[in-house]
Amino acid sequence: MKSPKDYIIFPLDVASGEEAKRYVTMLAGVVGMFKVGLELFIRSGPEIVTFIHSAGPAGVFLDLKLHDIPATVSRAMAGVAALGVRLATVHCGENRRMLEAAVAGGGRVGVLGVTVLTSVSAQDIAAAGFGAELAADLPRLVLRRARMAQQAGCAGVVCSGLEAGAIKAEFGAGFVTVTPGIRPLWAVSGADDQQRVSTPAAAVKGGSDYLVIGRPIRDAKDPRAAARLIAAEIESAL
């Protein structure tokens, strides 16, 4: 059975492999997964994934957001699968073929389509050339991309907590939703580059399966205590 801590994905968005290992050692027993992003993977490579596996039961979410021609994405995902990670990301992008290639190459890896980054606002979408109907209605764009991911065979999507409920209603409980931009009430700050945020309790109630929570844990005086506090908030929402 999934425990409250298993909802928490801690992003290792730090400057060095050594700092990442310090957080892994510190938090391995109080979070469900560690997110390894592009910056850390470029610095440390597969070795950081191996270290996480050796540190305890927490899994690995490899967040490289692949976006390339289908053949390249398929081969890259085959390499990802060899690392034994649980989840990996690919941008939904412009066509379904790339997503299908990612699924075909990923084997047992849960492939997640990245819908719209939580740092992106409606103004950004309009500036990128999208039609007014999508720029004015980001959840509609997210749902459209989630449908493409579901049809391609992806395990789920990355979306904000504001859209998880609609995705669950449309595609069912088995379609995984991973939600970044999570801020506990005690950690909300005006200086934030995330535009579409949610609290842990609200995100879980809304249908999020996993919550990517970085700053509130990383910047706390006691990161382990902060992770446990967030797990308690999640438990209250279950």
DSSP per-residue letters across 118-183: TT--HHHHHHTT--HHHHT-HHHHHHHHHHHHHHTT-SEEE--TTTHHHHHHHH-TTSEEEE--B-
Task: Name every residue whose Cβ is closer than 8 Å to that of residue 203 and which is 6 or more positions away in sequence.
Answer: 161, 164, 179, 182, 211
CA distance 147 to 197: 22
Q: What is the mean pLDDT of residues 187-212?
A: 76
What pLDDT, in 10s, does the model give residues 31-48? Answer: 999 999 999 999 999 999
Q: What pLDDT was estimated at residue 160?
A: 85
Q: What pLDDT was estimated at residue 181?
A: 84
C-alpha distances in angstroms, 25 versus 61, 71, 143? Answer: 17, 37, 37
Q: What pLDDT was estimated at residue 238?
A: 85
Contact 31, 212 (CB under 8 A): no
Q: What is the mean pLDDT of residues 10-20?
A: 95
* 65 tagged catalytic: yes
State the catalytic residue, choosing from 65, 168, 205, 221: 65
Contact 200, 182 (CB under 8 A): yes
CA distance 48 to 191: 30
Percent of the chain with pLDDT over 90: 74
CA distance 238 to 232: 10
End-to-end C-alpha distance for the chain, whole angstroms = 12
Contact 37, 9 (CB under 8 A): no
Q: What is the DSSP letter of 190?
A: S
Q: What pLDDT was estimated at residue 187?
A: 65
pLDDT class for 197, splitting at 50, 70, 90?
low
CA distance 164 to 148: 16
Q: Is the dihedral of CA 124, 128, 129, 135 positive or negative?
A: negative
pTM for the full model?
Answer: 0.91
Exposure on the CB side of residue 234, measured as CA atoms within 13 A: 28
